[in-house]
Every structure is written in C-alpha cells, then in structure tokens.
Amino acid sequence: MRYAILVLALAGCASQTPAPVSTPGPEPAPPPVVQAPAPVPSTPGVPPVLRPAARESTAIASLMDSARADAGGGRLSNAAATLERALRIEPRNPRLWSELARVRFQQRDYTQAESTALRSESWAGKDNLLRADNWRLIAAARDARGDTDGARTAREAAQRFEK
C-alpha cells in the first residue's frame, strides 16, 4: 500500500515540467517557482522540488537543466550521470547533492537517496529551504524502507527547517 502511494507520488513528480535553472532569453518570463506543497503527514512522498536556483554558475545551471529534463523523461541513469558531472565541477554544492538524492529516490535506491541527501546536508549551511527538502526526502526514503520511526524523526527535522 505504502509503495502504491509512493509510486503515485513519483508519477506526479515525473510528470511535472522541470523548472529551468538557467534563464534562457533576454526577456525572461519569471521561471515558474514550484513551491513544495505543504506536507500531508499521512502520505509520505517525495516533494517535487524544482526550485530555480539563480546562484548557480552557467555551467552548473546547464547541467542541472539537462539532468532535470532527463529525470522528467524517466532517463534516470542519464540524470544521475549528469549530476555527477556537475559535482565534479562543484563538489561542495549542496543543491547538486540534493538533486542527486532525488534521482536516487526515483531510481528506488532508498539507501543511497538517504545518504546522498545527508551528504547535501553537510554542505547546506543555513539554506533552511534546502534542508527541509532534504529531510522530507530522507523521511520518504525511510518510509519506503519500512523505517517508520526514522521517517517520523526525519519529518520532524524537516518541520524545524520549514519555520
């Protein structure tokens, strides 16, 4: 049952149009800000975080865009490869680690999803929005592995950062 919910959540995630990280033309329509929906406590799932991050360098932004396009199109292995490529350029970028964690989740590698999100945590500093995302993802990953207690702890952590 839990898995069914997760799959639905993932399907919802996949069908979302990725928000571009880079701003394309000279007259940019403001990139659509997809805000993470308020978490519904009873339905663990991955929040589709596709927040545009203006501070990325153009190289990183272009790789993030193409990773998101790949992930959106279900080419998860390509998305992961592209994010790793970006991480070789900026290994301390917590947003890249977080995106990679999200792809790992979609690949249903919940152990890697969690530890990769934790890797993002170590560089996240005061980016509370990102940290809340990470902990929600960790909660979902723990749920998927059947670790209900751990998931609850993670959700509590997420809520602390949402404030």
Partner 1 sequence: MARRARILRYFTYALLAGAALFLGYALHLDLRVQDEFEGRRFALPARIYARPLEIHAGLRIAPGDVEDELRELGYRVGGKDSESGWFAKNGNELDVAVRPFMFWDGAQPARRFKITFDAGAVTSLRAEGREIPLARLEPLHIGGIYPAGNEDRVLVRLSDVPKHFVDELVATEDRKFFSHLGFDVRAMGRAAWSVVRAGRTQGGSTITQQLVKNFFLTPERTLKRKFNELIMAVLLEMHYGKDEILETYLNEIYLGQDRDRAIHGVGLASQFYFGKEVQQLTVAESATLVALVKGPGIYDPRRFPQRALDRRNLVLRETRELGSISPEQFMSARAAPLGVVPKPLVGTSPFPAFLQLVHRQLRRDYDEKDLRSEGLRIFTSLDPRVQGAAERALAKRLAQYEKEKRFGPPGLEGAVVVSDPQSGEVQAVVGSRNARYRGYNRALDAARPVGSLLKPAIYLTALSEPSRYTLITPVDDGPFVWKSRGAPDWKPENYDKKFHGQVPLRVALAQSYNAATARLGTDIGLEKVLATVKKLGIDRELRPYASTLLGAAEMSPFEVAQMYQTIASGGFRSPLRAIREVTTQEGRPLQRYALNVEQAFAAEPIYLITAAMQGVVREGTGQGLRNFLAPELAAAGKTGTTDDQRDAWFAGFTGDRLAIVWIGYDDNRAARLSGAAAALPIWGDLMAAVAPEPLQLAKPERIEEVWIDPQSNLRGDSGCPGAVELPFMQGSAPAERAPCATAVGGAVDAVDNTVKKAKSWLERIFGR
Tokens 């170590």, residue located? 122
Shortest Å distance, C-beta 125 to partner 1: 8
Closer residue to partner 1 (CB): 106 or 116:
116
- What is the C-alpha R_g of the chain? 15
Q: 46, 137 in Cβ contact below 8 A? A: yes
Shortest Å distance, C-beta 37 to partner 1: 27
Closer residue to partner 1 (CB): 12 or 145:
145
The CA distances from residue 47 to 8, 16, 93, 106, in Å, are: 12, 11, 20, 12
Closer residue to partner 1 (CB): 45 or 105:
105
Note the residues at the interface with partner 1 (CB under 8 A).
Answer: 22, 57-59, 61-63, 77-78, 80-82, 84-85, 87-89, 91-92, 100, 111-112, 115-116, 118-119, 122-123, 125
Closer residue to partner 1 (CB): 83 or 140:
83
Long-range contacts of 145-151 (CB under 8 A, 24+ apart): 145/110, 145/111, 151/44
Tokens 């932004």, residue located? 61
Shortest Å distance, C-beta 151 to partner 1: 17
